[in-house]
């Protein structure tokens, strides 16, 4: 039997031996008193041709004097000490491995003592572990695990973690949600029409406070134990796939938490952007992402953006360091292979060194070409987004491997639409203009559209009106791109991001002590039911009309505030009409005629998600201010 990966990764060799015994045994391989780690803890013979670079770390290693590997099917191709003591880089070729095995790696410490660690090797990647199939344009659903559901209260308090316990009355404390809670509610998600789940980072965040969100990693190879274990993550992925749901991993290469184990026991001081003196607010990033694409920009602005810390607790990592870049790339490949992850959302993509970030995402695309990668790029304008995506005509696009980005251009246009209403290039006209800029992308259908997320006002609060919010949801779920729905929006959550903890509330019924559960129809309030029915009806339409949602989109420019678009399939069509003006208006005469050709059956979706027959002239009926009409045509 090979050792479980959890045993291989953190090697505490024991039992501890008296010093005099250790001295007598200096010439033989010793168990070690200090913690040793192997990153990655496992690899595959057909991943990147079986080539892998390990980082072996040991608190008592000092400057290593040698590395030995004795395995008939594994070749040691090189090793070298890291820049700082306590770490050694080990290069192996494992492509010849024919069956699962543990490879013994012997490291000679600075004092001449021999320490043994292990790498687990599988000959082949498990092709059945992944779902992918992103050409189906599934509805994505964003979850903050700590706030979704507490499926295992036993992990609420984990010995040794800096932040202990839960406090649901404090917005910045941990609330106890976990991976088991997501697992328990996969049927709810599948029934809603969800085809992909993006969770905020599940890696360890061992901070003294505000550790719930996941964006300050302290161990790149560990699931946060308060969320569960690596096996829980793998089981969640397996069960999600059974429900036809893909798993999207949130990857944060721009920054780590300041208590990351490789910053507490550093590999290389050059891994972090150090500026002279202590930390100050002046040393944070300037957050101006346009600097990375500005042809007129000055170096100081770009450096201030790229090299500045995202936050006091989140040191900025220098991806241009070759060792760090390889370490990060190997790390994310390991997560994808080990867990069976289908997609990646790359946090703060533009904040990292441009060439290095592109090289890492290109590496992922080469290793897992069927996966889906999209970047968070909080930029203003379609051209800046297009510059990042593979196949883009400018910027980094010829080398990134990115399938898409988070579509902030559409997001901001939708905000403008509900605030300004009718307009030529403003208001609803801005939505039209943004979509008309899709010529900038090779595959605009791969943009991830959204109305709200964990960093913005809840969409219903932003819209400020039920009809506006429902119209926006129809445009999101039936428009071009891969739509992303933030958890709770389907229940009418409507808080403002003032501060951000306000939009990261708990799902009703996710905790045993909750008096009701919104995961079941019987536990929803009338308001929650109304929102759920609208979203469920739209999501079901998207899911059942696959050829329509992956087909062509056409739209007509807004006239007097009335905007319409159609999704065209082989045998059916979906038409959405929105009146963004302040008074009753109808679609202009003949505006939908081309979409009605050879129509044999027309239905209109009702507020509760059901359908009623509609005549052709009915599409031209007047709509009230911000009324939205959704038609299914066969």
CB atoms within 10 A of CB 362: 19
Q: Retrieve residue 340's tokens.
A: 């069976």
Q: What is the pLDDT of residues 200-239, one digit of tens each?
A: 999 999 999 999 999 999 999 999 999 999 999 999 999 9
Q: Is 145 helix (H, G, I), strand (E, B) or coil?
A: helix
From residue 269, alpha-carbon distances to 84, 190, 264, 374, 628 in Å are: 8, 46, 11, 30, 57
| Alpha-carbon torsion angle 63, 253, 273, 55, nearest 10 | 0
- Predicted local distance difference test score (pLDDT) of residue 24: 26
CA distance 59 to 37: 9
Question: pLDDT band at residue 19, thresholds of 50, 70 and 90?
Answer: very low
Give the Cα separation of 340 and 248 in Å (integer): 10
Contacts 24+ apart (CB under 8 A), 79-84: 82/55, 82/267, 82/268, 82/323, 83/267, 83/268, 83/269, 83/270, 83/323, 84/266, 84/267, 84/268, 84/269
* N-to-C CA span, the chain: 58
> Residue 163: which residues within 8 A CB-CB, separation 6 or more?
173, 174, 206, 207, 208, 209, 211
* 617 token code pair: 């002239």
Domain 5-125, CATH:
2.60.40.10
Which residue from 617, 593, 615 is spatially nearest to 603, judged by alpha carbons?
615
| Residue that wins the pLDDT comparison between 28 and 600 | 600
Mean per-residue pLDDT, 257-278: 89
SS3 of 345, please?
A: strand
- Mean per-residue pLDDT for 406-420? 98
585-633 pLDDT tens trace: 999 888 889 999 888 999 999 999 999 999 988 899 999 999 999 999 9
Tokens coding 580: 């963004």
- Return d(Cα 306, Cα 353) in angstroms, integer: 6
Range with the poorest average pLDDT among 5-19, 45-59, 431-445, 528-542: 5-19
Task: Check: CB of residue 175 under 8 Å from CB of residue 506.
Answer: yes
Residue 72 has pLDDT above 80, yes or no: yes
Same fold yes or no, 5-125 and 550-633 = yes
CATH of domain 550-633: 2.60.40.1180
Q: Residues 585-590: contacts with CB within 8 Å, 24+ apart?
A: 585/560, 585/561, 585/622, 585/623, 586/562, 586/620, 586/621, 586/622, 586/623, 587/562, 587/619, 587/620, 588/556, 588/559, 588/560, 588/562, 589/620
CA distance 112 to 496: 60
CA distance 133 to 503: 31
Q: Where are the domains of the chain?
A: 5-125, 550-633
Q: How far is CA 488 from CA 270, 382, 414, 505, 548, in A?
A: 42, 28, 19, 9, 27
Helical ranges in 426-522 per DSSP H: 428-436, 459-463, 466-478
Checking if the pLDDT of 433 tops 70, the result is yes
The token duo for 441 is 């992308």
Query: Rounded mean pLDDT of 83-99?
Result: 98
Q: Is the pLDDT of residue 29 over 90?
A: no
């Amino acid at each position: 039997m090979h050792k479980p990966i959890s045993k291989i990764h953190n090697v505490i060799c024991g039992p501890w031996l008296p010093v005099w015994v250790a001295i007598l045994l200096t010439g033989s391989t010793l168990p070690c008193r200090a913690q040793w780690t192997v990153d990655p803890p496992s690899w595959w013979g057909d991943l990147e041709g079986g080539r892998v670079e390990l980082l072996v770390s040991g608190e008592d290693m000092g400057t290593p004097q040698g590395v030995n590997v004795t395995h008939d099917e594994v070749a040691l191709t090189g090793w070298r000490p890291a820049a700082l003591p306590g770490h050694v880089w080990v290069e192996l070729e494992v492509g010849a491995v024919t069956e699962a095995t543990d490879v013994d790696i012997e490291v000679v410490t600075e004092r001449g003592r021999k320490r043994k660690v292990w790498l687990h090797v599988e000959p082949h990647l498990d092709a059945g572990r992944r779902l992918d199939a992103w050409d189906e344009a599934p509805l994505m659903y964003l979850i903050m695990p700590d706030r979704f559901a507490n499926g295992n209260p036993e992990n609420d308090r984990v010995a040794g973690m800096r932040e202990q316990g839960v406090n649901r009355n404090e917005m910045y404390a941990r609330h106890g949600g976990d991976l088991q809670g997501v697992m328990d509610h996969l049927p709810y998600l599948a029934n809603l029409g969800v085809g992909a789940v993006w969770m905020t980072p599940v890696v360890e965040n061992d901070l003294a406070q505000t550790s719930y969100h996941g964006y300050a990693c302290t161990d790149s190879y560990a699931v946060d134990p308060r969320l569960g274990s690596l096996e829980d993550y793998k089981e969640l992925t397996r069960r999600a796939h059974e429900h036809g749901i893909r798993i999207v991993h949130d990857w944060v290469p721009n920054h780590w938490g300041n208590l990351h184990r490789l910053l507490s026991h550093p590999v290389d001081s050059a891994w972090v952007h150090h500026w002279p003196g202590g930390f100050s607010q002046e040393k944070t990033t300037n957050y101006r992402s346009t600097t990375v694409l500005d042809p007129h920009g000055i170096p100081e602005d770009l450096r201030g953006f790229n090299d500045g810390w995202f936050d006091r607790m989140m040191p900025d990592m220098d991806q241009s360091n070759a060792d760090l870049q390889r370490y990060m790339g190997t790390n994310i490949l390991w997560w994808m292979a080990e867990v069976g992850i289908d997609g990646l959302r790359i946090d703060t993509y533009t904040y990292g060194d441009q060439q290095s970030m592109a090289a890492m995402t290109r590496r992922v695309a080469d290793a897992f070409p069927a996966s889906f990668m999209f970047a968070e790029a909080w930029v203003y304008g379609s051209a800046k987004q297009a510059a990042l995506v593979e196949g883009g005509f400018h910027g980094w696009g010829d080398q990134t491997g990115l399938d898409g980005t988070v579509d902030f251009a559409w997001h901001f246009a939708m905000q403008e639409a509900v605030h300004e209403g009718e307009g030529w290039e403003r208001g609803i006209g801005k939505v039209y203009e943004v979509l008309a800029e899709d010529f900038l992308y090779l595959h605009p259908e791969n943009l991830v559209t959204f109305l709200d997320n964990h960093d913005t006002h809840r969409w219903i609060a932003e819209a400020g009106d039920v009809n506006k919010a429902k119209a926006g949801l129809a445009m999101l779920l039936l428009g071009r791109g891969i739509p992303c729905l933030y958890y709770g929006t389907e229940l009418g959550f409507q808080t403002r991001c003032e501060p951000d903890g306000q939009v990261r509330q708990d799902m009703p019924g996710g905790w045993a002590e909750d008096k009701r559960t919104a995961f079941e129809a019987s536990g929803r309030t009338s308001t929650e039911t109304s929102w759920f029915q609208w979203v469920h009806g739209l999501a079901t339409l998207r899911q059942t009309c696959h050829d329509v949602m992956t087909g062509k989109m056409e739209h007509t420019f807004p006239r007097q505030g009335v905007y319409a678009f159609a999704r065209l399939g082989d045998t059916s069509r979906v038409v959405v009409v929105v009146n963004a003006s302040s008074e009753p208006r109808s679609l202009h005469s003949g505006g939908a005629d081309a979409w009605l050709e050879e129509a044999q059956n027309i239905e209109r979706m009702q507020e509760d998600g059901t359908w009623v027959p509609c005549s052709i002239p009915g599409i031209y009926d007047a709509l009230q201010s911000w009324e939205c009409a959704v038609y299914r045509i066969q």
